[in-house]
Amino acid sequence: MTELTGKTIVLGVSGGIAAYKAAELTRLLIKAGARVHVVMTENGARFVTPTTFQALSGNPVWTEAWDERRANNMSHIDLTRAADALLIAPATANILAKLANGLADDLLSTLTLARDCPLLVAPAMNRQMWSNPATQRNVAQLKTDGVRIIGPDAGEQACGEVGEGRMSEPADIVEALISFLQLKPLAGKTVLMTAGPTYEPIDPVRGITNISSGKMGYALARALVHAGAQVQLVSGPVALAAPQGVERIGVQSAREMQQAVMLRVAQADIFIGVAAVADYRVANVAADKIKKTGDTLTLELTRNPDILAEVASLPAAPFCVGFAAESQNLDAYASGKLTAKRLKLVVGNLVQDGMGGDTNQVVLYDAEGAHPLPRASKTDVAAGIVAHLARMLG
């Protein structure tokens, strides 16, 4: 992942046991391409030593307002000037209270007050501390002040109690930060999309499906959320977690997918069919497991509805985008689909270039012609598709 390449993040670590997770968070931020400068409170440094963060970030760690390593002795000003965001994780009840009231009695609180970049905080504390009206008042105040609150999660706590107050997992915090730093060209747009394969039953234990992994559709759903869209993802059976912020509706067969789509399409501004929908289903699904009898077995198949074509031909059709996975003649088949299904955009790829894998090479076809994108990770391809979509809608 390189989605934070070129970004500078100041990571504030305050004094809670979740400080140990901030070490993993630092590693993930670096892995995502960010430059990381860690600032610790005195109590934060009691849980994990600054040496750990220095080794992980590759940068000096800052703990005191009176640090003479800066020639001007103004680390509280300098540190955020080159930063794209200040992220405090874990953020204790105490630091939240200080920030809500504008206190500046150590380096972290002082530089937060003096910052000129956005602030994100990931609270971490005992469930009673979190639900205490004083903390909730402080959090509400911070939200009003434009601070982005990440989490907290609910679950087991270090003190042995169970409830809300656990710091969000480092991977989820990084995901929230990546999303936060993106431009939002699709803000206010509702996207309905399909992804994954469908599963057409033969009998209660067998079915017909295909090798679609859902990775391209899920990567696209994630990129759409990052671009500010509201995303509903009607998904066939896949082994993927729903991206943060995406509403997933799980289905099995093409007809279930069609029903789930038609129920929601009236609210959608954009419809994107990424699913590898089975063209045919078994005409008569057996109620019981089929026993082996003769040497051959014939299954009669019947056509499935074409969900994308149906949506595109609605009187008030949303902006429709289709995918074309072909094994040959990509240009002709993909641009043919553009007109045949009355689509605004078709994302074409050769199946041998993308299906099931982690990278993809696609060509975008619209009324203006063909626009090839370079071979890249499905994450980057998804970002490229969203950028093109945003240009078309903008």
Spatial separation of the C-alpha atoms in residues 9 and 334, rounded to whole Å: 42
Which of 48, 308 has the CB closer to ligand C5P?
Answer: 308
- Give me the phi and psi of 90, to 5 degrees please: -75, 150
Q: Minimal distance in Å, beta carbon 275 to ligand C5P? A: 4
Q: Which is nearer to ligand C5P, 120 or 308 (CB)?
A: 308
Q: Which is nearer to ligand C5P, 130 or 323 (CB)?
A: 323
| Distance between CA atoms of residues 300 and 102, nearest Å | 72
Residue of 103, 159, 208, 262 with catalytic role: 159
d(CA 250, CA 190): 18
What six digits make up the tokens of 390? 């945003």
C-alpha distances (whole Å) from 205 to each of 238, 251, 391 are 17, 16, 46
Nearer to ligand C5P, 219 or 308 (CB): 308
Integer Cα distance of 314 and 331 in angstroms:
26
Known active-site residue 117: no
* Minimal distance, residue 47 CB to ligand C5P, in Å: 49
* Cα end-to-end distance, the chain, whole Å: 28
Smallest distance, Å, CB 337 to ligand C5P? 6
Buried/exposed 372-393: b ≥16 CB within 10 Å, e otherwise = ebeeebbbbbbbbbbebbbeee
Please give the residue ranges that form the binding site for ligand C5P (CB under 6 A).
194, 254, 273-275, 277, 279, 304, 306-308, 322-324, 337
Minimum gap (Å) between residue 311 Cβ and ligand C5P = 8
In the chain, which residue ranges form alpha helices assigned H by DSSP? 19-31, 44-47, 50-57, 75-81, 93-101, 107-113, 127-131, 133-144, 170-181, 215-226, 254-264, 307-312, 330-340, 351-354, 378-393
Please state the closest distance from residue 324 (CB atom) to ligand C5P, in A. 5
Contact 199, 237 (CB under 8 A): yes
| Residues forming a β-bridge with 119 | 86
Closer by beta carbon to ligand C5P, 209 or else 244: 209
**Which residues are the active-site residues?**
159
